[in-house]
Amino acid sequence: MGCGCGHEVRGGFCANCSRELLYLTALRYCPRCGVTVGEGIHADEDGCFECPSTMPRFGQLIRVSPYAAPLRQAIIRMKYRRASNIARYVSNLLAEAVGAHCDVDSIDLILPVPMHWLRRLGRGWNHSAVLADGVSGRLGIPLGDELIRVRNTPPQVRLPASLRQGNVRGAFAVTSPAGIRGAHILLIDDVLTTGATANEAARTLLAAGASQVTVAVSAKSEAPTAYSRQISGAEIA
Ligand SMILES: [Zn+2]
Ligand SMILES: [Zn+2]
């Protein structure tokens, strides 16, 4: 049901895609910008050589996998076909990644990256909220709705990286600062590309009194390397 590669199985990915996912989730990545980094390359809470010159406002980034098959197909199906069984599967993977990479007991509240109501109306649901709900249930951490989107920004995917931070500036607001004051917040989104949206959401939460923001995404979109192009067949085809 999830991988969409043609080898349909009930309740998850087929054996081939599960193996692929296992490999991708085990890749080492930078805990600030999320790019895949090899063993022996410096990457810690201070970042890596690929990190943007201005560090993000969130303290740590957790990802399940790079944005690549088979998770990529699952995310697309979840997002555009409102596939709740896939959302459950992806949220379980996300909860596991959070458990493996940070101290779950230190998290006070889970918040999804909100969608503007106009866009939610068009799409029928906010998939990040569905993921956040799943992670909240799995980890036993309360789910909040204090963060809202006050401006309907053009989709980031249509903009070059240089314009993305400006596009989301002032896009979020906190409805009740009392609910997040001093809290360590786990912010959930589906795919992180430049990180501009998550960064603006984190900035808004910290300005409203949150003590710490950790971001967890199901996938990190990164520029393909010569090797990844080769294994995906793009250069062999
Ligand atoms: Zn498959
Ligand atoms: Zn980095």
6 CA distance to ligand 2 middle (Å): 35
pTM: 0.90
Delimit the domains of the chain by residue range: 15-231
| pLDDT at residue 203 in the model | 97
Nearest to 198 by CA among 34, 30, 5, 2: 34
- Residues 225-237 have pLDDT tens digits of 666 666 555 443 3
Share of the chain above pLDDT 70, in %: 92
Asked if pLDDT for residue 118 goes beyond 80, the answer is: no
CATH 3.30.70.60 fits 15-231, yes or no: no
Residue 204 to residue 167: CA distance in whole angstroms: 15
- Residues 60-101 have pLDDT tens digits of 999 999 999 899 988 988 888 888 888 999 999 999 999 999
- Ligand number nearest CA of 35 is 2
21 CA distance to ligand 1 middle (Å): 10
- Residues 188-235 have pLDDT tens digits of 999 999 899 999 999 999 999 999 999 999 999 987 766 666 655 544
Residue 236 to residue 134: CA distance in whole angstroms: 39
| Side-chain-facing half-sphere of 196: CA atoms under 13 Å | 19
- Residues 134-178 have pLDDT tens digits of 999 999 999 999 999 998 877 777 777 777 777 788 999 999 999
59 CA distance to ligand 2 middle (Å): 12
